[in-house]
């Protein structure tokens, strides 16, 4: 669990560096105006999915697979509803929203898969 928290903090820092650099170089208009709200949303969803799967895998490996499938489905639906409501209620520039959304979605998904695979690898060694 400590390894997950450490890697999560490193991931958050690395994920935040490019947008911060874009803002400080004077190209903040390239990002969606509510980028940091999306950032927090995706981090929270990723933490919930990873922790639920890690806890389930530690209890029972067969339950871990079911929890992974359920959590991944819920994450996908939550992200789709987030995008739908975001576009419906806030005026967006299409390119900046799409770039911001997929930057966060794809990198958070990659982190989630890497974390869960490394946790699964550790369980197979036991």
pTM confidence score: 0.86
Residue 64 has pLDDT above 80, yes or no: no
* Mean pLDDT in residue range 78-102: 91
Check pLDDT > 80 for residue 91. yes
Q: Please work out, in degrees rounded to the nearest 5, the angle formed at the alpha carbon of residue 110 by the alpha carbons of 11 and 89.
A: 85
Contact between 79 and 45 under an 8 Å Cβ cutoff? The reply is yes
Q: What is the tens place of the pLDDT at every residue in 4-57? A: 889 999 999 999 999 999 999 988 888 888 999 999 999 999 999 988 888 888
Of 39-43, 91-95, 119-123, which one has max mean pLDDT? 39-43
> CB–CB of 49/42 below 8 Å?
no
CA-to-CA dists, residue 111 to 80, 94, 103, angstroms: 19, 26, 12
Q: What are the boundaries of each domain within the chain? A: 2-119
Q: For residue 126, is pLDDT > 80?
A: no
Give the pLDDT of residue 122.
57
């Amino acid at each position: 669990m400590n390894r997950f928290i450490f890697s999560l903090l490193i991931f958050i820092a690395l994920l935040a560096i490019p947008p911060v650099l874009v803002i400080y170089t004077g190209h903040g208009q390239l990002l969606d105006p509510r980028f940091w709200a999306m950032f927090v949303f995706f981090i929270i969803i990723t933490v919930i999915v990873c922790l639920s799967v890690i806890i389930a895998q530690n209890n029972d490996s067969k339950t871990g697979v079911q929890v992974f499938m359920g959590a991944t489905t819920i994450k996908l639906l939550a992200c789709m509803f987030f995008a739908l409501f975001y576009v419906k209620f806030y005026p967006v520039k299409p390119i900046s929203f799409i770039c911001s959304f997929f930057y966060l979605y794809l990198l958070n998904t990659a982190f989630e898969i890497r974390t869960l695979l490394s946790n699964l690898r550790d369980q197979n060694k036991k």
